[in-house]
Structure 1
Amino acid sequence: RNATPSSTSSRNRPPSPGDWLTEAVRYYESQSPGLGGRFLEEVELGVAFLRRYPEAAPKVLGSVRRFVLPTFPYYLLYRHLPSKGIRILAVAHQKRQPDYWVGRR
């Protein structure tokens, strides 16, 4: 299966975290009914954890932090913005296009 998001992204716009998340949910759901939902739930639990403990994950590049999902081979790349909470930069597979998010603010 191609690692590039489906037609939800255009040639002029880099894939957003939502594009990659949608593609991953579709992929897991195609592998086993309900697996896509479990993946999405794990992402949502990760985001909720990071909102509560925004400095829990290690920094990987400047102020960007990486939170590894416990079950799936994905991580959340985000910035902690003290006055605004967290900003998710990417939902990234650990082995596919790992640097697609570089340059996001």
Structure 2
Amino acid sequence: MRSLLVAVCLVLALHCGEAAVSCNTVAEDLYPCVSYVAQGGYVPATCCTGIRALNTQAQTAVDRQSVCRCIKSAIGGLSLTPNNINNALSLPAKCGVNLPYRISPSTNCDSIN
């Protein structure tokens, strides 16, 4: 689990987007979600706060695509199990947030408006 946390943080910290929302911001906002993605169970309130903040900050298509790319880049290089991916996919609904994209390695970020 610790290596998963380190890998996500490193990838997000090193990959900065051109949009107003940087990958560092994405990493900070989603860091509280890592334990849920890795293990399931309880979704921390701070995770939902981070997802809401990202959704609010990403107002343009470029911003949303950038956030999507940051997430996709971070999780794409990891050895995630189907359970980890399902946990990530379930986060927006569990937090009551309607994201315009799926939190998944298979998301086509270029198609987000």
TM-score, with normalisation over the residues of structure 2?
0.26
Q: Which has the higher strand share?
A: 1
Larger Rg: 1
TM-score, with normalisation over the residues of structure 1?
0.27
